[in-house]
């Protein structure tokens, strides 16, 4: 029983902690997701190549705007889901700016200028954007829309955190083409 209560307490704490995660504000009072990563073993050029490769790999969702020898500016979007029991459906789209800069021994990246575009079910049962004009995530919603906006903010943070984790993992991984493994052959002539 004690163990059960302890487990319940841990789970509840984890849930509350997860709910509290939200974007900090930058110097302009806008939401930002900002990371500086120490990377002593990977050269600056390799980091740039890997960052470009990450964007190319996700070209449907991130498009490069500007590139220099040590920085990339891009615009991206990701779909936010609404969960109903175990199933879910898209509730909207999060648009963002993505910036990446590298220096010897470290790099930094950040997401900002977040905008939300709500989706609505169309006549064919598909979820599509209701407008092309995004609403900045920093807006103060009315009382009627407050709960829904809070859920959108939480989902936006989790999605951004996931993209950031994928990006960091991608930059930390060497993707040299592996030698093709020879397929195993079994001869039935000799036995």
Partner 1 sequence: MKKLLSAIFTIASSACVFAQEAPTSPLEFSGSVDTYFKYDFAKQPNITTSFASDHNSVSLGMIDLVLKKKTGKASFVGEISFGPRGQTQSIPDEAANGSSFHIQNLYVNYDFTDQFSMTAGYMGTFIGYEVISPVGNFNYSTSYLFTSGPFQNAGIKATYKFSDKVSLMAGLFNDWNVYSASRGVSSIGGQLMVSPVEGWTAYLNVLSGLSGYGYGTIEDLTTSYQITDKFKLGLNAANYDVDNDGGGYAGVALYPQYAVADAITLGLRGEYFKTKDVGTTAGTAFTSVTLTANIKSGGLTFIPEVRLDHNKDLPFVKSNGMSVPNAGQFSLAAVYAF
102/71 Cα distance (integer angstroms): 6
72/97 Cα distance (integer angstroms): 11
The number of C-alpha atoms within 13 Å of 123 and in the hemisphere containing its C-beta is 0
What's the DSSP call for residue 120? E
The region that residue 113 occupies, defined by phi over 0 for left and psi between -120 and 50 for alpha, beta otherwise, is left
| Contact call for residue 147 and partner 1 (CB under 8 A) | yes
Binder of partner 1 out of 43, 45, 120, 175 (CB under 8 A): 120
Q: Is the CB of 44 or the CB of 82 nearer to partner 1? A: 82
Minimal distance, residue 104 CB to partner 1, in Å: 38
| Contact call for residue 56 and partner 1 (CB under 8 A) | no
Neighbours of 12 (CB within 10 A): 10
Considering only residues 87 to 106 of the shown chain, the ones binding partner 1 according to CB under 8 A are 87-90
| Contact call for residue 166 and partner 1 (CB under 8 A) | no
Binder of partner 1 out of 16, 59, 133, 179 (CB under 8 A): 133
Binder of partner 1 out of 8, 122, 166, 169 (CB under 8 A): 122
Name the residue among 93, 74, 67, 69 with its Cα closest to residue 82.
93
Minimal distance, residue 177 CB to partner 1, in Å: 21
CB neighbours of 4 closer than 8 A, spacing ≥ 6?
A: none
Considering only residues 61 to 90 of the shown chain, the ones binding partner 1 according to CB under 8 A are 82, 84-85, 87-90
Residues that bind partner 1 (CB under 8 A): 82, 84-85, 87-90, 120-127, 131-133, 135, 141-142, 144-145, 147-148
């Amino acid at each position: 029983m004690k163990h059960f209560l302890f487990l319940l307490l841990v789970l509840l704490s984890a849930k509350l902690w997860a709910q509290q995660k939200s974007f900090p504000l930058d110097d302009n009072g806008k939401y930002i997701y900002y990371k500086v990563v120490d990377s002593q073993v990977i050269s600056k050029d390799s980091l740039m190549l890997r960052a470009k490769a990450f964007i190319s790999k996700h070209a449907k969702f991130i498009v490069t705007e500007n590139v220099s020898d040590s920085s990339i500016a891009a615009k991206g979007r990701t779909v936010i889901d609404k969960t109903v029991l175990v199933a879910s459906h898209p509730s909207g789209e999060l648009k963002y700016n993505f910036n990446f800069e590298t220096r010897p021994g470290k790099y930094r990246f950040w997401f900002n200028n977040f905008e939300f575009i709500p989706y609505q079910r169309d006549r064919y049962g598909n979820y599509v954007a209701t407008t092309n004009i995004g609403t900045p995530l920093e807006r103060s919603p009315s009382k009627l829309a407050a709960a829904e906006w809070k859920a959108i903010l939480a989902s936006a943070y989790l999605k951004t955190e996931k993209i950031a984790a994928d990006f960091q993992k991608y930059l930390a991984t060497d993707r040299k083409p592996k030698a093709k493994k020879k397929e195993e052959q079994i001869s039935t002539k000799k036995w």
